[in-house]
Amino acid sequence: MSDVIETLDKVRSVITDIKYKQKLGRKPFIIKEIENNSFSVVDLINLNSSIKVPTIRAHVARNVSSGRYILIGSKKTGGRGKPANIYKLNKS
């Protein structure tokens, strides 16, 4: 599986009370990504079966806005719903 890489995606912790220094937020998680081929969100969901769907969708949205993923097109699905967006990892 040379075309799969693992990245650490984390949510920023928030300090709520300076006296106790308690942190809120989620622990960081490792998401497997497809490196050499184009992919859709469903491909990432199938590759990362232990991570929930909203988390993967948020991960993709963050990486598109930061420029790490490039939206290269869309693919028609089985007839119902919107077309699936196709992404590729930006290597520059």
Give the model's pLDDT for residue 72. Answer: 94
- Pull the structure tokens for residue 40: 């859709």
Domain boundaries, the chain: 4-89
Greater model confidence, 60 or 10: 60
C-alpha 91/C-alpha 36 separation (Å) is 10
Q: Mean pLDDT across the stretch 34-40?
A: 90
Residue count (the chain): 92
Q: Mean pLDDT across the stretch 76-88?
A: 85
Do the Cβ atoms of 72 and 85 come closer than 8 Å?
Answer: no
Give the model's pLDDT for residue 73. Answer: 92
C-alpha 48/C-alpha 42 separation (Å) is 10
Place of tokens 């990504």: 33
pTM of the predicted model, to two decimals?
0.71
Sign of the dihedral through C-alpha 69, 74, 75, 79 = positive
CATH number of the 4-89 domain: 1.10.10
Give the model's pLDDT for residue 83. Answer: 86
Give the model's pLDDT for residue 1. Answer: 45
